[in-house]
Structure 1
Amino acid sequence: MSSSSTTVTRREPPDLGALLRKRKAEDELASRPRFIPKAERLRLEAEKSAKEEEERKRRQAESHHKNGDQRPPAAPSAFTNAPGPIPTGPKAMRSNEADNRRNGVNGNRPPQVNKRGTEKNGNTGAESDDEAERKARYMGPDVNQSTFSAKKKRRRATDKKFNFDWDPDDDTSRPSDPRYAERLEPAFKLGGYDDQMTDEIIRRKAEAIRRSDPEFGEERARQLLEQHERAKKAAERNGLGKHWSEKKLSEMKERDWRIFKEDFGISTKGGAIPNPMRNWNESGLPKRLLDIIHKVGYDEPTPIQRAAIPIALQARDLIGVAVTGSGKTAAFLLPLLVYISELPPLTEFTKNDGPYALILAPTRELVQQIEAEARKFATPLGFTVVSIVGGHALEEQAFSLRNGAEIIVATPGRLVDCIERRVLVLTQCCYVIMDEADRMIDQGFEEPLTKILDALPVTNEKPDTEDAENAQLMSRYVGGRDRYRQTMMYTATMPPTVEKIAKKYLRRPAIVTIGNAGEAVDTVEQRVEFINGEDKRKRRLQEILNSGQFQPPIIVFVNIKRNCDAVARDIKAMGFSAVTLHGSKTQEQREAALASLRNGQTDILVATDLAGRGIDVPDVSLVVNFNMATNIESYTHRIGRTGRAGKSGVAITFLGNEDTDVLYDLKQIISKSSISKVPEELRRHEAAQSKPVRGMRKTEESAGFGGKGAQW
């Protein structure tokens, strides 16, 4: 045999044990109960019933064919499937009645439906038509069927309840009805005569009256036209159809001034208060000063400027209550410049008698900000403005006063030092302005503020009578060249201590309130987040800064000085540039920090409440309260660093367990904002449900007056 011959493979016999095991497994699987869905069970039962019925009919037909019976097969018995004899007697009568019902009145009745809404036939496994017929034939019709309806029961249960909702079916107007196609609006509305009520519409209405009323329609139409003409003439005569912005100043009525004040949120109290100014040209300011205003870029006056400037120009004492960032600086600077321009110029003899005007502010930064703003207007008019603040040598400030100054801007502490050391006297000061008065009281400046006001001359004090409200009497000179002292106080809130000072040193003041005192400005969206722990807050701060939603400059507030540098270091580690501002910084460091933030060299400022008042950094997009302020007034001023000059801003506040004392006030102030929403966690917090009763709390930053200015 050759090597290329094929190899024959032997066929192995099947394994008998494996076959038996396989057969046993199949038998066990077949013997197990198998779950059959209901629909499948019904289908199998229907098929089985159909097969049995066909088999029964087939056997019955074969039986009749075998016996030679030509009669139709009898109906099956109601109890057996076998054929039965035709019934006679009463049962037959019932059967005939059932046949009549089937073939007569109800011959075309629809198939019966069971409670589940399925048809009672063989296809659903329920009663078939033949079974129903047999049942009716032998048992009679069903007379005790239930008529219960859950829908009817619900309707009966709700019929007695009064529904407060509007039912659209109750609307009797039909927009498609031609009678409602042309509905006329009333000729008079809240704002006055409506210009849209044209003569053509009135004529069409008069014509419709003529057609609908042949007897009296002509007279009614004539009266309608005459009434329309009278209304037009009255509206033109009273100017009701024009907005106040479209009227001349001489056409303004009391009603127009009321609407004007409502538009700008102006509220005034006091006797003989003049109307606000609508624009700069109607302000009564000198033309030279108006030219400077337009050159500086003040296009439209703010609400506090509209209301306060006309009052101040009448030599009235004034209390201005307005939210931060509302333009209060120009509101008191412009009348001040008009006041001192009417006084004789300073000479070599009078320059040592002190300034004509004194402006007090709580912080060095605010003083320097007011000084810069005042020089924009005072320098072109030939007036000198000097600031006196802590942090600079007293000799340097005395050197600045050597040639005299018409206006001095100062912090209370350093000004008291100058008065006590005879560097400065206030012999001829007749104009005093206290800016951020509530903040000065909070910082412990009540005592130095009282010393300064007591150092003013008393010969030119206003009388505490109705004469203090007379502009002509108060504008006169007292004793030859002096004028009555004019005192103004600007504040964002009115605590009792500020009211006490106002009652003591102001004479019959006019009170101007813009918006609601103590509330945040409506251009700031306030957000709060409950985050406990410094590390979690730093991670959340990093997420906010990296989100790209907010552009620099950004201000981050903390409560204590030592946290400023720590948070600033972490921000620098995140890749952002940051500077700090707190009470331990020198004056040069403070000025450098603010300058770098304003000119765009630095992205983020980390500060204490020192930067919460009066600091004006343009275009701040975001304020983050890394630590919540200890009182709601400080919180209001913090978030007021953004959303200034009509621009929008966002304030995000981190809250923790240590802030329970201010949660109630915080919820109230957020709920009053039109663009902010109170989060659910704050709304439901236990501490936010009622105002807590607590004493005054002092923080590390709120050190009182220490003799040389506040220790910020």
Structure 2
Amino acid sequence: MSRSARARLMVRGINTPRPVVSFAHFGFDERLMKTLRKSEFATPTPIQAQAIPSALSGRDIIGIAKTGSGKTGAFIWPALVHIMAQEQLQADDGPIVLICAPTRELAQQIHLECKKYGKPYNINSVCAFGGGNMHEQIMACKEGCEILVCTPGRLIDLVKKKGTNLQRVTYLVFDEADRMFDMGFEPQVRSIADHVRPDRQCLLFSATFKKKVEKLARDILTDPVRIVQGEVGEANQDILQIVHILSNGPSKWTWLLSKLVEFTVLGKVLIFVTRKDNCAELAKNLKESGFTAGLIHGDMAQYDRTQVINEFKKRDIPILVATDVAARGLDIPSIRTVVNYDVARDIDTHTHRIGRTGRAGEKGTAYTLLTQADKEFAPNLVRNLENANQNVPSELLNMAMQNSHFANSRSRYGGGNRKHFSLGNRAQRERPGFGSHSGPSSSTSNIIVDSSNPFDYDGPSTKKTTTVGPMTDWRGGSTAPSGTNRTSAMKAAFQSQFKSSFVAATDTGLKSHSVAVPSSVTQKRTGQTSKTDSTSTTKRSRFSD
């Protein structure tokens, strides 16, 4: 792991294992190392370099890293080591490793990786998801599987139908946890975690991590190692983001036709739209224009979706038009260009959209097309570009400035790539000190003390000096230099409070100016004195006259 990558890796936790720089340091056996060499992995990615040693040591993990950073390998490879250390499965035993993913496509992708790396060990993996044949999935689980990759809803269905059980699960993974919450799977996720034995090892991975997911992590993880690569939810800096501001919807179609041939020469092209009907319409128009294009959206049958993705992976289809169902977790190689034909519904979805390119350290380009109807999304896009050190077009910035909240924040914090906790170019406002009744610019007449000893006070002085409010020096009335001197202001306030609350002692004793004592104390002491023998010598109280 390079020094720059290590600098962008933030690790928190108790007794966290040190990161490694080579696959040889993981201690994997020769069978797994041989499979890794076939996969052409040179060195571990930063998230793998830190997460795998933590997982191998049995620690719970919160892994937050940009898309395409190798999170899948970070939990699959330790899972294989974990399985080999367990007893063999018996009849009617459930899985040892349970991996939950939010979408069918992501579950299938993880399943393929598990099969590839588990084959040398004869480890059986089963993928269960909604839309698949329930009976076939139940039979596959009953035949015995060490790894079960599933969506949360289908897992609960399998458990209710007694197709599997969670008694042997000791390694639990939630991938894209925030996406599960966005899709409404929070009750299912918590139910799954509650029904797995409490001494399990649990890992949560995602590209973004929202507050409600962090609350889940506190509830289900024990002393986790928190690993953050870069900024939370930031875009991949290996992706060049280009934003075009167009006049209207038809202009986007004209732009796409003019660029599509160039894009297909470079590699596969993934085009994102927001609505399902727009997805079908755009794919139809592309086919009528002579392009070979496929489409994928949530209303398609699972068989059709799988077939289209496989054809796109093999490059039988160079162009794929998709809704956000394909935006999370899919690892399709050779995607060089992503086009956001319609803007995403939020910046997290945008991050995952563009993350389909620039995978595993490769370079990619993402184009985002905006019209005036998308001006509410512009502020979020500006911040996303700035955090990824990307160029922000002036047209986009002007569009974002039409948002009053964004415009106010830019003027307040000075614009640019500034953090929101800094003052930017804002000048500090002068304010009066404690006890002052006037602003810093108004002239007031203040009573000052002539003596340098604040306790040597014999009534107010007749000398009055016009000074600047709280700037008066508490010792001699000297005016403080320009600027806010809060120390002098506080001293002046305390002096004023002292003069109004206390009376100074004189050389003649305490008779003339007695310190105020509660009457109950005085009466009690007087009564005690009268009861004593007049001939006896009593000690004079310092409270008596």
Which TM bucket (shorter chain)?
Answer: 0.7 to 0.9
**Partner Cα distance (1:426, 1:489) in 2:** 18
Q: 1:315 is paired with a residue of what secondary structure?
A: coil
**Partner Cα distance (1:526, 1:581) in 2:** 24
Q: CA deviation at 1:428?
A: 1.3
Q: State whether residues 661 and 692 of structure 1, in contact with CA within 8 Å, keep that contact through their aligned partners in structure 2.
A: no
Say whether 1:617 aligns with 2:360. no
Matches within 5 A, 1:349-498: 352-457=92-197, 461=198, 484-498=199-213
Q: How far does the alpha carbon of each residue in 1:423-459 deviate from its partner, in whole angstroms, 9 at most, with x for none?
A: 22101111100001111111111111112112213xx
**Partner Cα distance (1:534, 1:589) in 2:** 29
**Number of corresponding residues:** 407
* Aligned residue number for residue 21 of structure 1: none
**Partner Cα distance (1:263, 1:488) in 2:** 21
Q: 1:300 is paired with a residue of what secondary structure?
A: coil
Change in Cα spacing, 1:262 to 1:651, as seen in structure 2 (3 Å) is: closer
Q: CA deviation at 1:665?
A: 1.3
Q: 1:503 corresponds to which letter in structure 2?
A: R
* Aligned residue number for residue 67 of structure 1: none
**Partner Cα distance (1:632, 1:377) in 2:** 34
* Aligned residue number for residue 683 of structure 1: 397
**Partner Cα distance (2:359, 2:83) in 1:** 30
Q: CA deviation at 1:548?
A: 5.5
Change in Cα spacing, 1:573 to 1:584, as seen in structure 2 (3 Å) is: same
Q: 1:493 is paired with a residue of what secondary structure?
A: coil
* Aligned residue number for residue 59 of structure 2: 316
* Aligned residue number for residue 527 of structure 1: 242
Q: 1:337 is paired with a residue of what secondary structure?
A: helix
**Partner Cα distance (2:313, 2:169) in 1:** 34
Match of 1:518 among 230, 233, 241: 233
Matches within 5 A, 1:1-150: none
- More divergent stretch after superposition (643-652 vs 658-667): 658-667
Q: 2:128 corresponds to which letter in structure 1?
A: I
Q: State whether residues 552 and 604 of structure 1, in contact with CA within 8 Å, keep that contact through their aligned partners in structure 2.
A: no
Change in Cα spacing, 1:279 to 1:688, as seen in structure 2 (3 Å) is: farther
**Partner Cα distance (1:588, 1:262) in 2:** 40
Say whether 1:637 aligns with 2:352. yes
Q: 2:229 corresponds to which letter in structure 1?
A: I
Q: 1:645 is paired with a residue of what secondary structure?
A: helix
Q: CA deviation at 1:307?
A: 0.8
**Partner Cα distance (2:264, 2:318) in 1:** 14
**Partner Cα distance (2:273, 2:369) in 1:** 11
- More divergent stretch after superposition (425-434 vs 658-667): 658-667
* Aligned residue number for residue 131 of structure 1: none
Identity score, percent: 37
Q: State whether residues 93 and 168 of structure 2, in contact with CA within 8 Å, keep that contact through their aligned partners in structure 1.
A: yes
Q: 1:525 corresponds to which letter in structure 2?
A: L
- More divergent stretch after superposition (359-368 vs 682-691): 682-691
Q: How far does the alpha carbon of each residue in 1:400-422 deviate from its partner, in whole angstroms, 9 at most, with x for none?
A: 12211110000111111111222
Q: 1:427 is paired with a residue of what secondary structure?
A: coil
**Partner Cα distance (1:515, 1:428) in 2:** 36
Q: CA deviation at 1:262?
A: 5.0
TM norm structure 2: 0.72
Q: CA deviation at 1:396?
A: 1.0
Q: How far does the alpha carbon of each residue in 1:475-506 deviate from its partner, in whole angstroms, 9 at most, with x for none?
A: xxxxxxxxx31000001111111011101100
**Partner Cα distance (1:279, 1:690) in 2:** 47
- More divergent stretch after superposition (381-390 vs 282-291): 282-291
| Structure (1/2) with the larger helix percentage | 1
Change in Cα spacing, 1:303 to 1:262, as seen in structure 2 (3 Å) is: closer
* Aligned residue number for residue 341 of structure 1: 84
Q: State whether residues 31 and 120 of structure 2, in contact with CA within 8 Å, keep that contact through their aligned partners in structure 1.
A: no
Q: CA deviation at 1:268?
A: 0.2
Q: State whether residues 248 and 372 of structure 2, in contact with CA within 8 Å, keep that contact through their aligned partners in structure 1.
A: no
Q: 2:149 is paired with a residue of what secondary structure?
A: strand
Match of 1:556 among 260, 266, 271: 271
Change in Cα spacing, 1:302 to 1:264, as seen in structure 2 (3 Å) is: farther
**Partner Cα distance (2:212, 2:160) in 1:** 25
**Partner Cα distance (2:181, 2:111) in 1:** 22
**Partner Cα distance (1:423, 1:546) in 2:** 49
- More divergent stretch after superposition (365-374 vs 411-420): 411-420
**Partner Cα distance (1:632, 1:360) in 2:** 24
Q: State whether residues 671 and 677 of structure 1, in contact with CA within 8 Å, keep that contact through their aligned partners in structure 2.
A: yes
Larger radius of gyration: 1
* Aligned residue number for residue 570 of structure 1: 285
**Partner Cα distance (1:312, 1:691) in 2:** 42
**Partner Cα distance (2:267, 2:225) in 1:** 40
Q: 2:327 corresponds to which letter in structure 1?
A: G
Q: State whether residues 264 and 318 of structure 2, in contact with CA within 8 Å, keep that contact through their aligned partners in structure 1.
A: no
Match of 2:257 among 517, 538, 542: 542
Q: CA deviation at 1:672?
A: 2.4
Q: CA deviation at 1:673?
A: 2.4
Q: Structure 1 unaligned runs (5+)?
A: 1-244, 246-258, 462-483, 694-712
Q: State whether residues 550 and 622 of structure 1, in contact with CA within 8 Å, keep that contact through their aligned partners in structure 2.
A: no
Q: 1:413 corresponds to which letter in structure 2?
A: G
Q: State whether residues 317 and 508 of structure 1, in contact with CA within 8 Å, keep that contact through their aligned partners in structure 2.
A: yes
Q: State whether residues 302 and 327 of structure 1, in contact with CA within 8 Å, keep that contact through their aligned partners in structure 2.
A: yes
Q: 1:329 corresponds to which letter in structure 2?
A: T
**Partner Cα distance (1:597, 1:358) in 2:** 29
Q: State whether residues 664 and 687 of structure 1, in contact with CA within 8 Å, keep that contact through their aligned partners in structure 2.
A: no
Q: State whether residues 663 and 687 of structure 1, in contact with CA within 8 Å, keep that contact through their aligned partners in structure 2.
A: no
* Aligned residue number for residue 325 of structure 1: 68
Q: State whether residues 387 and 408 of structure 1, in contact with CA within 8 Å, keep that contact through their aligned partners in structure 2.
A: yes
TM norm structure 1: 0.56
Q: 1:511 corresponds to which letter in structure 2?
A: R
* Aligned residue number for residue 37 of structure 1: none
Q: Structure 2 unaligned runs (5+)?
A: 409-545
**Partner Cα distance (1:355, 1:380) in 2:** 18
Q: 1:654 is paired with a residue of what secondary structure?
A: strand
Q: 1:647 corresponds to which letter in structure 2?
A: E
Q: 1:347 corresponds to which letter in structure 2?
A: Q
**Partner Cα distance (2:89, 2:385) in 1:** 51
Q: 1:359 is paired with a residue of what secondary structure?
A: strand
Say whether 1:285 aligns with 2:28. yes
Q: 1:268 is paired with a residue of what secondary structure?
A: strand
CA RMSD of aligned residues (A): 1.8
Q: How far does the alpha carbon of each residue in 1:185-208 deviate from its partner, in whole angstroms, 9 at most, with x for none?
A: xxxxxxxxxxxxxxxxxxxxxxxx
Q: How far does the alpha carbon of each residue in 1:271-307 deviate from its partner, in whole angstroms, 9 at most, with x for none?
A: 1011101101111223332232223322211111111
**Partner Cα distance (2:263, 2:276) in 1:** 28
Q: State whether residues 302 and 326 of structure 1, in contact with CA within 8 Å, keep that contact through their aligned partners in structure 2.
A: yes
Change in Cα spacing, 1:565 to 1:508, as seen in structure 2 (3 Å) is: same
Q: 1:433 corresponds to which letter in structure 2?
A: V
Q: CA deviation at 1:656?
A: 2.1
